[in-house]
Amino acid sequence: MSERFLSDCGWDSSNRAPVAGDASGRRFTRLTGPRGSAILMESPGTDIEPFVRAAAHFSALGLSCPGIFAEDREAGLVLMEDLGDALFSVEIAADPALELPLYEAATDLLVALHAHAPPDWAERYDPSRMAAFLEPFEAAYGSSNIPARLNELLTRHAPETDILLHRDYHAQNLLWLPDRTGVAQVGLVDFQDALAGHRAYDLASLLQDARRDVAPALEEQMIARYLAATGLDPERFRAAYALQSAQRHLRILGIFRRLAAQQGKTQYLALVPRVRSYLERCLSHPVAAPLVEELTKIMPQPEGTA
């Protein structure tokens, strides 16, 4: 099916090289030839509409995400702009001095994005849905009162769903595009799960990254930068940040266990200690105290492999 698609698009004679993907079943291929380069995303059996509409929304706001050249929704195929390989994680590993300016740029992008209301199509990632999305955690660690308790805390301290979330905003989904200007220097990928949610969620995803260590000092500096730019109430925002972070980490821990057990992707278990460390950081905030006792009962210590 992809061969016919590429032929129809005029890219069938291009050279091809695989591009590293993510935990999903999607496959990415870089095409190069006389027309330049492009990325083919193959996502059979998956609705690509969320990806396409999120890309259109981000582009309309002046943000950098892959332009869509062609699509076949029935086959789950997208031919799109190639933004390169300069992932934040790769660039920082090569030159640690880039860490601060890149994180500043990523934080500033969120400030710009959060100046806009979410589009009408965006479903709400509200407290009840965030609690329901803890299903992977429940499946991995056993049924508990955590979803209900977290729903109560989020409803009280972080009920807003007034901006569009990327929902996987971290250093391996952000590309450095220094030839562009302003927030367009940050390239966005892997945004097909975008929902309307709380503005602390993506910042927490960036600063408590399951795949790399982010120092507490850098995290605090970026939170302060975001608060200074938005004028939000610091105490209320930090409480929301702790709860939004905790929900994300609990869900991720369940997903990592599921990937290891059901798909043999045991490499994700190596990330568990880092996620647990971030989770403990969140739980140290007073607003999260009701979660601590319940979690102590059901979560083993220590956990994960090096």
Q: What is the reported pTM?
A: 0.93
Specify whether the CB–CB gap between 175 and 189 falls below 8 A: yes
- The residue type found at 129 is R
How many whole angstroms separate alpha carbon 138 and alpha carbon 189?
Answer: 29
pLDDT, residue 35, reads 85
> What's the pLDDT tens digit per position in 37-60?
999 999 888 899 999 999 999 999
- How many other CB atoms sit within 10 Å of the CB of residue 236? 13
Of 54 and 13, the structure prediction assigns the larger pLDDT to: 54
How many whole angstroms separate alpha carbon 303 and alpha carbon 306?
Answer: 10
What pLDDT band is residue 306 in, cutting at 50, 70 and 90? very low
Q: What token pair was written down for 286?
A: 């007073």
178-191 in b/e form (b: 16+ CB < 10 A) is eeeeebbbbbbbbb
Q: What are the start-end ranges of the H helices in 61-98? A: 88-94
pLDDT, residue 1, reads 55
> What's the pLDDT tens digit per position in 86-141?
999 999 999 999 999 999 999 999 999 999 999 999 999 999 999 999 999 999 99
Helix (H) or strand (E) holding 278: helix 272-283
Handedness of CA 61, 66, 68, 74 (dihedral sign): negative
Q: Does domain 88-298 have CATH number 3.90.1200.10?
A: yes
Of all residues in the chain, the percent with pLDDT exceeding 70 is 96
Q: Where are the domains of the chain?
A: 2-81, 88-298
| CATH no. of 2-81 | 3.30.200.20
Task: State the average pLDDT over residues 286-292.
Answer: 94
Closest CA to 88 of 21, 177, 151: 177
pLDDT, residue 302, reads 62
Q: Interhelix angle for 234-263 vs 216-230, to 10°?
A: 130
pLDDT, residue 2, reads 82
pLDDT, residue 26, reads 84
DSSP state of 67: P
Fold matches, 2-81 and 88-298: no
